[in-house]
Structure 1
Amino acid sequence: MTLSVPASPRRWLFVLTILVGSFLLFLVQPMVARMVLPKLGGAPAVWNSAMLVYQALLLGGYAYAHWLGRFTIRRQAAIHLGLFLVAALWLPIGIAAIAPPAPGQEVLWVPLLLLASIGPVFFVVSAQAPLMQRWFAADARAGDPYYLYAASNLGSFAGLLSYPALVEPSLPLAAQSWGWTAGYALLVLLVAASAAARWQRGTVHDDGAAADEEPRPALRRQLHWLLIAAVPSGLMLSTTTHLTTDIVAMPLLWVLPLGLYLLSFVIAFSTATRLTQIITFTAPAVLLSVGGLALLSSGGGSMMVALASLGMLFVVAVALHGYLYHLRPAAQHLTLFYLIMSAGGVLGGLFAALFAPLLFDWVYEHPLLVLAAAALLPLPALLPWDQWLKLPAAKARAVAALLVGFAAFACWQMVGGWTGSLAGATAIWGLAIFVIGLLVIGWRWAYVSALALLMVGVGGWDTMEESFTGMRVRSYFGVYTVTDDGYRHQRRLAHGTTLHGLQRTDSGGRLEPTTYYGHQSGVGLTLDKAEALAGPDAAVGIVGLGAGTLACYRKPGQQWTIFEIDPVMVDIARDPAKFTFLSDCAGDTPVVIGDARLQIAKQPAGKFDVLVIDAFSSDAIPLHLLTEEAIGIYARALKPDGILLVHISNRFFDLEPVLAAEAKARGWTAAIRMDPGPMGDDFGDLTGSNWVALTATPARMRELTGGIKLRKDRFDDGAWVPLAARPHFTRWTDDYASTLPILLWKHLVGGRE
């Protein structure tokens, strides 16, 4: 693959300008997302909302570049460089000081915050890619400028990956911001140099003369561009949501779909036409095999399914973007083409990030976008059996219709025999639908029908049925599902792939604490001793409501306050038809809705004897709740001898060094209780958990733990043991925190539950 173009004056300058601008554009996105963590947290929906803002600003930048095309290059350069200087007033990059959102208003607040923080800077930088291509094409020897779009996306890809891999682990946010400002200054110089290289040119194309070469594309063709661009954009966001909701809540997962989306442009708009053709040829089969799982709502944490979904996104994006490149107009319509492409990106983003969470109780946008991709993909026939048999077109269509009818029968058989996995007769019927899908690729209506039937058969019917039970709900922060297991007398609350609560449905154990909160867990041992530690009127704060399990540790006279960011979670916990922990044990407990860090900061100093931090969203780290500044807020809210208890159970991160470094810096005493849970009982009421206790008073820690035990077996019943400190581990702050040093790499590969 090569990004080369025919020789032209200063080609290297335009390539470098585009690379630098695109690199900066996609470096600032995760940087600003990191900056906003202390204000809202890191739910996947926050990233999707941010992506929607970026796409809208990109559309604005492309529209501005298209508008500039009416002027001479001298006038364009003067306007563009002037706008660069005005946007520099927003440097260095920082977060605007606007009031935090009211509960439920996050979907509107995040775009407003980002627009106020980086809107002008992002706007002007986003315009330089199409504008530089237009200036490049002003020289008659320049050749096809569309190849430069591959360079643009290569720069974007590099900027995106360099942030979590290089920038975040190496630099605090203040240094990141000033470094980005230096890059911005370099870009201004490169844009000025590019303008000087074409200073003697007039307009890039005289539209009147060019009209004889190629007329303005028809509206139908422009709509075709719009739809083809919208589907990969929406699919990129829906894949992120689908994976983090129902497959595996892998850290940094949002980087991979966006990175593959950008990489697809690099391939599709480069001279690697043969590679694009190969990928396009295989795309229908890939979409059929992996897209058939798109309605499955029980991925079970399978890394194989996650990787397959990412592979499908990449293949489909290359095929559709290659199709866009094939449909590109002549150079005089270049900025119009990119403007409509950008509008398509915004359209896909609006559907996946804004409308879908409001319309659906599950990530139905993902299978819908998979079907839309099937409706738009080029469909080269893999098995042209109609040609081999020399069938007339009408007979071939009739055979295709019969095959689809058999696929419908196979789907009905799969629905009736579905047990949660593809096995036995269900797998055979699924294979039959897959083969039929391959056979009918030459007829789009039949191919899309086969794909839809496969989706319904592979767990899709169960997913859709749950939407009518009222036991699943979706909010800005995720998808919550309540399920019953009558055999084991359990009712479960799942947030994505993570168990967030379980209640016995038989009368005997209905109010017993379950999952991570059993009496042998760190939180159970602490709350059972709350009266002995702090008296009968102990004040307890709980961050993270879940199903309300901890409420049944409350004793008469104790003063409890619960903090929960998601109003939907409060509705679930307070609904006796779903869970009764809260209503039966602590119905009068106040629940403060909003981000816990912000809400605890509003509490009176020295209020709590025990403060419990249990705020994981699936397996996403509440990074902004574990920094020096956050712990300082908790310390202020605690009494001088109060106990801070933090839940750090996680499949992918080892958070012990984070809290060990914090305890050491404050001179606090810290211990961890590692409860293994019921050994050999995968379906019991209790779950293994890790809880860390921290206190400024060593005597209080001895009262809690009976003395921290230095044991070889860290899982002894009831044992509190020292935290595992890590030499030279850098204390997390709002300005600097990297998750790479604490990643459990082997679990990423193994997909451990």
Structure 2
Amino acid sequence: MRILFGPLCFLASFLFFSGEFLFSEMLMPLFGGASHVWITCILFYTIVLLLAYFLVYLVRILNPAVGLPILITLCLLQISFHSFKILFPHSGPPVWSVLWALANTAFIPLLILGMTTPLLQNIAEAASPKTSKILLNFSNVGSLMGLLMYPLIGDTFFGLENRRIIWEIASLACSLLVLVIGMSAYALEANLEKVSIPNPISLGLRTRWFFYSFLTCLLMLAVTNFITHGLGSVPLLWMLPMAIYLGTFWMAFSEKMTAANFFLRRYGPILWGVLQIISYAHIEQNTFLLHFRNYLFLFLATLIVNSEIYQRRPSQNLSSFYLVLNIGGACATLLVSAIIPHIDLSLSNVYLEFVLAIIFFAIFLLVRDYEKLKKSVATKIIFSAVISLIIYQLFPTIKNELESKRNFYGLVRILEENGEILMAHGSTVHGGRKIDPQLSNLPLVYYHPKSGVGEAFTFLSFPKKVASIGLGAGSILYYAYPGDEWDLLEINQNVYDLALKHFKFLAQTKAHYQLHLGDGRLLLQQSKSFYDLIVLDAFSSDSIPFHLLTREAFALYLSRLNAGGLLLLHLSNNYCDFLKVIAPIAQSLGLEMAYARRQIQDQLGKSDSLWAVLSKDLRLVQKFQSEKGWESPDQELLTRPLWTDDWQGLLSIMNIP
């Protein structure tokens, strides 16, 4: 049966990492598509993996003969009571709700998968240390394949429900295989002796392992947060930082990569420092360069740190080594997912964890070999670049930021720039006003009176019932009329608080409004109200709320509209063309559609926006076209793939230069 150890390690690792994506993707719609859901899920997965390694280590120390019986018992529990459908989380803080939902759904299967490889390694190590290393290679390959294949193949060719069924079947098959192999290998494990440590590992060395693991995980999470807040929280974007994180670990521990590792460790930081400085000149023209720069930083930094981990690994007692690495990763994830969201610290263009990661990486370079580094010209260049980066990105915040609030749903800031007060979430401005008292009641940027939204409301002057998904600065209420009734559906309490404090739209509106906290789609499902108008403007930074842009979501909106009702959609985005999503959905539901791109420059500043209207009322939509010059979608847009709850294709709508 030993010949099956390798394939089983591969399968367990493959399912563990693909399962991370699956369960996280199933949870996203319950929390408004917030990118922090993925970070919180990583905390849960890290805790499960830490518990798995701790149990294996404890068993190896106390009684090696009980390891496989524990795993077999868990497999029997999974086979008997398996259910991989996400239970709706209880009310409470979002972080705890996510963890609760995952614990009730994925804990036992992921714990089984996490324990499989280290248990089999312990058994194989007793017979041959070389075999243990081979199993580790099987596990590493399985992990990378799980990371790559889920978003690139699973997400592309299978719907979410089909992916869930396939994973469930494969997981149960893995548990059955563990049962068969476990019972056959029990005699081998029973003969293992308790681990004795002839040369105890010093606390200083264990502390280094912890810090290095903490640092690499923090770097990975920082880059993940940065890109998912900017582009959207989907498996494809989750995969890239984690693949780099695991790939550099494999490179660092591979003897075949020694020469390449040496070159990158020696000259990589200089390369990154140079690119860090050069890229500032082009970021305004190409924001994808910013993401590439961050990926390069993650690759070089994690490779350097992981190479140091490899050099300081023990020759014996590897279970203790991997356990400490897991503790470091778990602490980094706890910091980013549960602690940093509650720190209200002004950081303009970066997130706190990103600054911390850079600072810690600089400290690592300093303490790694102080006597050599303090004389190195390269070190001076690196530290100059790092310090310049932090000062460059923090200075605008210190100068322009009036207030900021941070929580599970991101960092919302109030900025004062060029005579304007603006609300910013991530890299996107969500409304603003002029400081000049004579102009302060007029909305700016996407809500400019001459933009698509201003034109749309010229046709909607009667008292009406309105639902607005997404609030921003409250600019949309500038267009409310006396007698209107507005339901404001906003998931982030901080957005409402800052809008009420710094902008006049909520306080001065003549309409009656009521705030409803929660995900817009879920609130509409629970509502019994019907509306004359539904406004959709729920983007967080440039992040895409995928569950609000599917055919099923629009069918829900349509079911909540009165006869002759209208859907008004804000589609402005730096990275994606949402007309490619909305047009085929409108056609599939029998809706008429028109859209308006408006570029305006006047006393209220610059406005570049894209708004669209959808309705069953052909005459109303034609009125937009004939009187305001709105456009109809062409045939190429109408034939685009249809987004559903089961499938959304991010790459198909991205504006990649």
* Fold shared per TM-score above 0.5: yes
For the structure 1 residues 456 and 650, does the alpha-carbon distance in structure 2 shift closer, same or farther, using more than 3 Å as the test?
A: closer
Counterpart pick for 1:508 among 433, 438, 455: 438
Structure 2 residue aligned with 1:693: 613
After superposition, give the CA deviation of every residue in 1:36-93 in whole Å (9 maximum; x if it has no partner): 2321132221111111111111111111222332577764333212212212456452
Q: 1:524 aligns with which of 454, 465, 471?
A: 454
Contact 1:613-1:645 at 8 Å conserved across structures: yes
Are the equivalent residues in 1 in contact too, given 2:551–2:585 (CA < 8 A)?
A: yes
Q: Deviations over 1:589-640 (max 9, x none)?
A: 222221111222233242x111101111122221111223322332232212
Amino acid in the other structure paired with 2:246: L
CA distance in 2, matches of 1:604, 1:265: 53
Shift in Å, 1:207:
3.7
Task: Name the residue aligned to 1:485.
Answer: 417
Residue equivalent to 2:155: 168
| Alpha-carbon distance change, 56 to 599 in structure 1, aligned in 2, over 3 angstroms | same
1:517 touches 1:550 (CA, 8 Å); kept in 2?
yes
Percent identity between matched residues is 25
Residue matched to 1:600: 524
**d(CA) in 1 for partners of 2:75 and 2:437?**
68
Give 3-state SS (helix, strand or coil) of 1:733's partner: coil
- State the AA in 2 paired with 1:225: W
TM, length-normalised to structure 1: 0.78
Deviation at 1:352, TM superposition (A): 1.8
State the secondary structure of the residue aligned to 1:137: helix
Match of 2:216 in 1: 232
Seen in structure 2, the aligned counterparts of structure 1 residues 129 and 690 have a Cα distance that, compared at 3 Å, is: same
CA contact (8 A) 2:590 2:616 kept: yes
Task: Measure how far apart 1:95 and its partner are.
Answer: 0.6
Larger radius of gyration: 1
**Aligned-partner residue type, residue 270 of structure 1:** S
Q: CA deviation at 1:269?
A: 2.1
Range that drifts further, 251-260 or 125-134: 251-260
Question: Relative to 1, partners in 2 of residues 1:522 and 1:492: Cα closer, same or farther, differing over 3 Å?
Answer: same
User: What is the CA distance between 1:325 and its match in structure 2?
Assistant: 2.2
- Letter of the 1:580 partner, please give it: K
Q: Could you tell me how far apart the structure 2 residues matched to 1:688 and 1:179 are?
A: 44
* 1:302 pairs with one of 287, 292, 295: 287
Alpha carbons 1:19, 1:155 under 8 Å: kept? yes
Give the Cα separation in 2 of the matches to 1:197 and 1:338: 26
Q: Relative to structure 1, is the Cα distance of residues 548 and 740 closer, same or farther in structure 2, using a 3 angstrom cutoff?
A: closer
State whether residues 548 and 581 of structure 1, in contact with CA within 8 Å, keep that contact through their aligned partners in structure 2. Answer: yes
Q: 1:569 Cα deviation (Å)?
A: 0.5
User: Are the equivalent residues in 1 in contact too, given 2:117–2:139 (CA < 8 A)?
Assistant: yes
Superposed CA deviations along residues 148-193 of structure 1, whole A, max 9, x for unmatched, are 4344233222212222211122112221111112221342354356
Provide closer, same or farther for how the CA distance between residues 552 and 97 of structure 1 changes in structure 2, counting only shifts above 3 A.
closer
Deviation at 1:472, TM superposition (A): 2.7
Task: Please tell me whether residue 56 in structure 1 is matched to residue 56 in structure 2.
Answer: no
CA distance in 2 between counterparts of 1:628 and 1:90 reads: 34
What amino acid does structure 2 have at the position aligned with 1:697?
A: D
Residue in 1 aligned with 2:333?
Answer: 349
Give the stretch that moved more between structures: 716-725 or 215-224: 716-725
Asked whether the equivalents of residues 151 and 266 of structure 1 are also in contact (C-alpha less than 8 Å), the reply is no
Q: Which amino acid letter does the alignment assign opposite residue 36 of structure 1?
A: L
Q: Is the 8 A contact 1:437 1:451 kept in 2?
A: no
* Residue equivalent to 1:591: 515
Change (3 A) 1:293 1:137: farther
User: 1-side partners of 2:483 and 2:368: how far apart?
Assistant: 73
Asked if structure 1 preserves the Cα contact closer than 8 Å seen for 2:65 and 2:191, the reply is: no
Of residues 544-553 and 38-47 in structure 1, the stretch that sits farther from structure 2 once superposed is: 38-47
1:511-564 superposed Cα distances (whole Å, 9 cap, x missing partner): 233322234433322222212xxx3x2112211111111111111111122111
User: Aligned pair count?
Assistant: 650
Residue 353 to residue 380, structure 1, CA distance change in 2 (3 Å): closer
Q: Counterpart of 1:414?
A: none
Task: State the distance in 2 between where 1:689 and 1:455 align.
Answer: 31
- Classify 1:663/1:743 alpha carbon distance in 2 versus 1 (closer, same or farther; 3 Å): closer
Please state how far the C-alpha of 1:32 moved relative to its aligned partner. Answer: 1.7
Alignment partners' CA distance in 1, 2:422 and 2:397: 16
| Distance in 2 (alpha carbons) for counterparts of 1:158 and 1:593 | 40
Post-superposition offset of 1:642: 1.2
Name the TM-score, length of structure 2 as normaliser: 0.89
Aligned match of 2:109: 121
Q: What is the distance in 2 between the residues matched to 1:474 and 1:147?
A: 45
1:143 counterpart residue number = 130
Inter-partner Cα distance in structure 2 for 1:585 and 1:650: 27
Matches within 5 A, 1:323-722: 323-331=308-316, 333-361=317-345, 362=347, 363-377=351-365, 438=378, 453-464=387-398, 470-486=402-418, 489-531=419-461, 535=462, 537-575=463-501, 578-586=502-510, 589-606=513-530, 608-668=531-591, 670-678=592-600, 681=601, 685-698=605-618, 702-706=619-623, 708=625, 718-722=629-633
Structure with bigger helix share is: 2
Paired residues of 1:248 and 1:306 also in contact (CA < 8 A) = no
The question of 1:273 aligning with 2:213 is answered no
For residues 340 and 498 of structure 1, do their structure 2 counterparts lie closer, same or farther at Cα, with a shift above 3 Å needed?
A: same
Is contact 2:6-2:134 (8 Å) kept? no
State which drifts further: 166-175 or 369-378.
369-378
Q: Structure 1 residues 384 and 567, CA, compared in 2 at 3 Å: closer, same or farther?
A: closer
8 Å contact kept, 1:248–1:301: no
Q: Which amino acid aligns with 1:515?
A: V
Partner Cα separation in structure 2 for residue 233 and residue 507 of structure 1:
48
Aligned equivalent of 1:425: none
Matched, 1:18 2:6: no
Q: Partner letter of residue 494 of structure 1?
A: A
Contact 2:576 2:653 in 1 (8 A): yes
Q: Which moved more, 1:354-363 or 1:248-257?
A: 248-257
Aligned positions of 1:246-257 closer than 5 A: 252-257=236-241
Quote the offset at 1:20 in angstroms.
1.5
